[in-house]
């Protein structure tokens, strides 16, 4: 049994622990909030053995082996570094850090301290995505020429001080959801040779919409994230010999279609739970084999991903930089 501790008991933590309960090897040991009462309520609701009214207290408990960090983006670096310092293995929510400098420091520190660290890029472990990667490697759609992926939902009615909209908490669509289309393009096509991008900001300085074109030697990726309206979230991967369409919402998809030589085949690949169980298994797999990085989502992958986020923000002149 691997004993998990959770830091930051917000929206995603509630979903994550439900999937943690589906992984036989994992045990929800302790949960930590800035409020002891909130931690106690969460522990009762989800059956955690221990609860803590501070993040530091959870990190001091030797029973905790792996820490899942589910706080706003701006504190991923701080709490990952503290967890690593305390000798814990870490699964930290996306984006791993606010910029490349943070992510480099975190990954280096994990290596120096001999602990596992992974960005919780759960889509990498989604069963459809795994199968699509394999089919593309087997050359089933030929060479990718065009990729399209979006992630949009209406968030303009949210509290401006909330994590999603507040620039002081790393708010904005790019880091929150634009990271997924960028991830898909990076996963399947690698680092682009050039990026074009355009963004819209609120008067408070929150990035609300970003449209991007990633230019590759022989392909173009058209990517989008936004809080101003809902988007279809069907991703397309178009190759010289076939087209893959990933069902909505593609980042947590339950299946996909492959169109080739005039025939369309549908593939159903349901996730276990909501889909977080697959990344939890991936953490255990690495820990069980003594690896400090998950081979399918390495430290280099997280550095490349944040490098792309940095580049897009530089082009669109985000006030964060
Ligand atoms: N993988 C996914 O599908 C997915 C989905 C949604 C979000 N996420 C990621 O998960 C992280 C958390 O997102 P969320 O939607 O769960 O956010 P949320 O509902 O706002 O919860 C974040 C939690 O962080 C803690 N926190 C620590 N410092 C804070 C501060 N200064 N202001 C506000 N909260 C603070 C709070 O927990 P306590 O009050 O208990 O201390 C809060 O409940 C983000 O990095 C996001 O990108 C991932």
Instruction: Calculate mean pLDDT across residues 165-175.
Output: 97
> 10 Å Cβ neighbour count for 229?
11
Say yes or no: CB of residue 95 within 6 Å of ligand 1. Answer: no
Residue 179 has pLDDT above 90, yes or no: yes
> Percent of the chain at pLDDT above 90?
98
- Find the 96 Cα to ligand 1 centroid distance in Å: 13
DSSP state of 33: -
**Which protein residue has the closest C-alpha to ligand 1 atom 44?**
72
Residue 321 has pLDDT above 60, yes or no: no
| Confidence (pTM) | 0.97
Q: What is the pLDDT of residue 318?
A: 52
- Find the 240 Cα to ligand 1 centroid distance in Å: 41
Instruction: Calculate mean pLDDT across residues 183-193.
Output: 98
pLDDT, tens digit, 9 for 90 and up, residues 158-167: 999 999 999 9
- Find the 248 Cα to ligand 1 centroid distance in Å: 24
Burial class of residue 315 (count of CB atoms within 10 Å of its CB; 0-12, 13-18, 19+):
middle
**Which protein residue has the closest C-alpha to ligand 1 atom 43?**
10
**Which protein residue has the closest C-alpha to ligand 1 atom 27?**
71
Confidence of residue 196 (pLDDT cuts 50, 70, 90): very high
Spatial strand order of the sheet with 220-226 comes to: 194-201, 207-215, 220-226, 144-152, 235-239, 242-246, 255-260, 263-268
| Opening angle at CA 275, ends 270 and 276, nearest 5 | 155
Tokens 């089919």 belong to 135
Sign for the CA dihedral angle at 103, 104, 107, 110 comes to: negative
Q: What is the pLDDT of residue 317?
A: 82
- Find the 157 Cα to ligand 1 centroid distance in Å: 18
**Which protein residue has the closest C-alpha to ligand 1 atom 2?**
12
Residue 118 has pLDDT above 70, yes or no: yes
Topology given in CATH for the domain delimited by 2-121: Rossmann fold (3.40.50)
Determine contact, residues 276/16, Cβ cutoff 8 Å. yes
Q: What is the pLDDT of residue 320?
A: 45
Instruction: Calculate mean pLDDT across residues 168-196.
Output: 98
Instruction: Calculate mean pLDDT across residues 282-304.
Output: 98
pLDDT, tens digit, 9 for 90 and up, residues 68-88: 999 999 999 999 999 999 999
Cross-strand pairs, 273:
none
pLDDT, tens digit, 9 for 90 and up, residues 244-271: 999 999 999 999 999 999 999 999 999 9
Domain ranges of the chain: 2-121, 127-270
| 155/167 Cα distance (integer angstroms) | 14
> Percent of the chain at pLDDT above 70?
99
- Find the 9 Cα to ligand 1 centroid distance in Å: 7
DSSP state of 104: H
Instruction: Calculate mean pLDDT across residues 200-220.
Output: 96
Residue 59 has pLDDT above 80, yes or no: yes
DSSP state of 270: P
**Which protein residue has the closest C-alpha to ligand 1 atom 28?**
71
Topology given in CATH for the domain delimited by 127-270: Dihydrodipicolinate Reductase; domain 2 (3.30.360)
């Amino acid at each position: 049994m691997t004993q998990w501790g959770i830091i930051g008991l917000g929206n995603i933590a509630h979903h994550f622990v439900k999937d943690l309960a589906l992984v036989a090897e994992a045990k929800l040991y302790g949960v930590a909030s800035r409020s002891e009462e909130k931690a106690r309520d969460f522990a009762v609701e989800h059956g955690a053995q221990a609860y803590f009214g501070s993040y530091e207290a959870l990190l001091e408990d030797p029973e905790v082996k792996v820490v899942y960090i589910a706080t706003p983006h701006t504190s991923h670096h701080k709490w990952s570094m503290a967890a690593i310092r305390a000798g814990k293995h870490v699964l930290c929510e996306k984006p791993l850090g606010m910029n490349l400098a943070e992510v480099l420091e975190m990954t280096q520190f994990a290596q120096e301290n001999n602990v596992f660290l992974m960005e919780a890029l759960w889509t990498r472990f989604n069963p459809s995505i795994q199968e699509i990667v394999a089919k593309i490697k087997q050359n089933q759609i030929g060479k990718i020429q065009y990729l399209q992926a979006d992630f949009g939902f209406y968030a303009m009615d949210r509290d401006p001080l909330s994590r999603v909209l507040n620039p002081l908490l790393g708010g904005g669509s790019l880091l929150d959801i634009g990271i997924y289309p960028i991830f898909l393009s990076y996963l399947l096509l690698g680092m682009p040779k050039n990026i074009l991008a355009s963004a819209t900001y609120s008067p408070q300085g929150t990035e609300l919409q970003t449209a991007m074109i990633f230019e590759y030697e022989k392909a173009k990726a058209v990517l989008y994230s936004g809080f101003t309206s809902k988007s279809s979230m069907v991703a397309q991967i178009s190759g010289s010999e076939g087209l893959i369409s990933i069902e909505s919402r593609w980042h947590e998809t339950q299946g996909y279609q492959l169109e080739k030589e005039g025939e369309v085949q549908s593939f159903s690949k349901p996730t276990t739970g909501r889909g977080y169980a697959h990344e939890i298994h991936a953490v255990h797999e690495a820990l069980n084999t003594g690896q400090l990085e998950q081979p399918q989502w390495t430290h280099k992958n997280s550095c490349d991903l944040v490098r792309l986020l940095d580049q897009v923000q530089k082009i669109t002149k985000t006030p964060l930089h």
